[in-house]
Amino acid sequence: MKKNRKYLLLIPIVAVLSFACNDYIQNVDPLITQAQDELLNNETQLPFLMTGVKQRFSTVASQISCLADLLSDQMFYTSDNPQASFPTFEEIDKGQILLDNNSNRGMWRVLGELRFFADDLIRRTNSISISNAANKNAALFTGYFYGGIARFYMAVYYGLAQTQPGGVIDAGPFIPQSQMLDQAIANFKSAITSSAKDADTRIVNSFIAKAYLVKGDFANAATYAAIGMAKGDADFLALYNDVSNIYYWGFAGKGRVQIVVDNRMNDYITADPKEANRIKLSTLKGTSGKTYYFQTKYPDKFSNFPVMTWQENNLMLAELALRGFGSGNALALVNEVRASHSVGPLVIIDLNGVLTERDKELCFQGDRLIDENRTGKWHLAAGTWQYLPITSDERNANPNLK
């Protein structure tokens, strides 16, 4: 249940009293508390609009991933933890999520805002006169790319029913996962047409591959992963600062440990101490005296959050090769990832081994829930939520969901 801070540009009117007279300031222009919509329809406002989309993305990325990790088998909530006090987190952990779960309600709202801001940026860009083609392309890339990410998040993290993934756009009808992923892919491909940087294109191609992987379209996934991120490419990050702090730090880390890590993550380190190079943990004592582990991958509130990396792309290529798609050497691809953390090489790899490597490499990034659902390895009993539910707010306001 994250408190979303709203910074309002309000200045209190202070009456300045004088001991010598009763004069006070009167010649002050009317206060401006919001930008007038039509003033944003200008080429000079495109940087402002793009920044708004990226800022909302940073609000969304770690929060939705942390809640997804909590719903998966990678993290959990226990009342034995003296710092734990959010029953909304316990609902998510158990997959018994009420439609008005407040942690999820806030998440659904900001995700919807991300999707709207991105789509609105595209609409504005295409409706105004822009003299500089580079400015137009940058705005369209931002709108299509982040609009694609918003749709991907809806597709893989949300559902209308416990096992019915998908989302909703503009109070419209429910869009099942496969169709929502098709929309995300279309957005990503449109972003590529406006991309001016090869590195950006490779990042987008990795997102396209990931969407196809979730769809089970392994041929297309292999095609795009092959032209996706490559060794040495910088991580694509959600950036955090004093306006938007990383959610893992605030609720599953040193800020406050409400959510702890499954013991198997420490078991990986026990089996091979070098795994601590990529699985970063610390400990706390429960009220019972039991030891629990929590993540320190994000050690402070300004830690940035990896959303796509060349290591993830390598692991997609490895999985796809083992499934008979693409020409990659699965073992070499996995060992390249391990070597990037100074972890020793494996001598053999199979699909289960790749999933284990994904569990380690992509820990605390929201990917475990995706892997559980797409591979049919759900860890809770039947009848539990395998996705975050579309909220009661949306259901009550949307006639298409009644």
CATH code at 108?
Answer: 1.25.40.390
The 158-161 sheet, strands edge to edge = 175-176, 164-167, 158-161, 388-389
- Between 14 and 399, where is the model more confident? 399
How far is Cα 166 from Cα 154, in angstroms, rounded to an integer? 6
**pTM (whole model) above 0.75:** yes
Read off the pLDDT of residues 334-381 as tens digits, 9 standing for 90 and up.
999 999 999 999 999 999 999 999 999 999 999 999 999 999 999 999
Does 8 map to a domain? Answer: no
387 within a domain of the structure (yes/no): no
Domain around 129: 43-246+300-308
Contacts of 87 (CB under 8 A, 6+ apart): none
Q: Which of 9-13, 176-180, 396-400 has the lowest mean pLDDT?
A: 9-13
**364 occurs within a structural domain:** no
Q: 36: pLDDT confidence band, cut at 50, 70 and 90?
A: low
Place of tokens 């601590």: 276
> In terms of C-beta density within 10 A (0-12 exposed, 13-18 middle, 19 or more buried), how is residue 367 classed?
buried
4 Rama sector, left if φ>0, alpha if ψ -120 to 50, beta otherwise = beta
Report the percentage of the chain scoring pLDDT > 70. 90
**For helices 46-71 and 87-94, angle between their N-to-C axes, nearest 10 degrees:** 70
pLDDT of residue 12: 36
Residue 131 resides in a domain:
yes
| Domain count for the chain | 1
Domain contains 105 = yes
H or E, element range at 261: strand 260-261
d(CA 237, CA 159): 26
Radius of gyration of the chain (CA): 23
Number of other CB atoms surrounding residue 30 within 10 Å: 5
- How far is it, in rounded angstroms, from Cα 201 to Cα 210? 14
**Residue 33 pLDDT exceeds 60:** no
Closest CA to 348 of 362, 328, 332, 336: 332
| Residues β-bridged to residue 244 | none
Burial of 189 (0-12, 13-18, 19+ CB in 10 A): middle
pLDDT at 244: 74
* Distance between CA atoms of residues 363 and 86, nearest Å: 23
The CA distance from 322 to 349, in Å, is: 9
Per-residue pLDDT tens over the stretch 285-324: 999 999 999 999 999 999 999 999 999 999 999 999 999 9
- The yes-or-no verdict on residue 35 having pLDDT over 60 is no
Question: Residue 148 in contact with residue 193, Cβ under 8 Å?
Answer: no
In the chain, DSSP finds a helix count (H) and a strand count (E) of: 14, 12
Long-range contacts formed by 397-400: CB under 8 A, 24+ apart: 397/171, 398/168, 398/171, 398/172, 399/171, 400/168, 400/171, 400/172, 400/173, 400/174
Q: What percent of the chain shows pLDDT beyond 90?
A: 86
- Could you give the 3-state DSSP secondary structure of residue 388? strand
pLDDT average, residue stretch 270-293: 98
Determine the average pLDDT of the residues in 160-182: 98
Residue 79 lies in a domain: yes
Query: What mean pLDDT, rounded, does the chain reach?
Result: 91
Q: In this predicted structure, what is the pLDDT of residue 155?
A: 98
Quick check: is 36 in a domain? no
More confident of the two residues 6 and 100: 100
pLDDT in tens, 131-148: 999 999 999 999 999 999
Domain presence at residue 235: yes
Angle at 153 between CA 81 and CA 385, to 5 degrees: 55
Q: CB-based burial of residue 259 (10 Å sphere; 0-12 exposed, 13-18 middle, 19+ buried)?
A: buried
pLDDT at 203 over 60: yes
